[in-house]
Amino acid sequence: MPELSQETERGRGAAPFGLAEVTGPSMVPTLYQGDQLLVRYGARVRAGDVVVLRHPFQQDLLVVKRAVEPREGGWWVLGDNAYAGGDSTDYGTVPEELILGRALFRWRPLPAGQRSPLAVARWALSAARPVLADRPGRPGRSASRRLRAR
């Protein structure tokens, strides 16, 4: 994902919204490699939200995870893909100050070589969607099955 400036992270002087690109499989099936995200920086985070955060051990690396629950010392975050790793099961609770913002919307670019009318129509119907939170009574479309199993 692209690195953000310090000014943007704090929400000062710049718009509170920004774009990020997804790399890696940790949020499949909610987000895929190449998906573009509209992120609201400084937004209030609630359990179930998909968030952009700085990796606790590599602060120049931004990651996208689902905020599961607040704990002492910050947020417990997990990827929707139970087999990808790289979440709080590896590095523990993420301090609140490392949570940059909440993903609001995602869109998928048209795959290269997909120019047939049927392929374009299928893409148009699924390319842009809100990023839904996984909350009791209103689960996200592809919420982590790991959360329910614990």
Question: Tens digits of per-residue pLDDT, 78-132?
Answer: 999 989 989 999 999 999 999 999 999 999 888 787 778 888 888 888 888 899 8
134 pLDDT more than 90: no
What pLDDT score does 120 carry? 86
Q: CA-CA distance, 63 to 89, in Å (whole number)?
A: 14
**Mean pLDDT taken over the chain:** 83
Q: CA-CA distance, 61 to 44, in Å (whole number)?
A: 21
Chain-centre distance for alpha carbon 131: 8
What pLDDT score does 138 carry? 54
Q: CA-CA distance, 114 to 109, in Å (whole number)?
A: 11
* 99-107 and 74-78 strand pairing: unpaired
Three state DSSP letters for the chain: CCCCCHHHHHCCCCCCEEEEECCCCCCCCCCCCCCEEEEEECCCCCCCCEEEEECCCCCCCEEEEEEEEEECCEEEEECCCCCCCCCHHHHCCECHHHEEEEEEEEECCCCCCCCCHHHHHHHHHHCEEECCCCECCECCCCCCHHHHHC
Q: CA-CA distance, 116 to 133, in Å (whole number)?
A: 33
Least trusted range by pLDDT, from 35-39, 54-58, 115-119, 134-138:
134-138
Q: What is the pTM of this model?
A: 0.76
Question: Phi and psi at residue 10, in whole multiples of 5°?
Answer: -80, -10
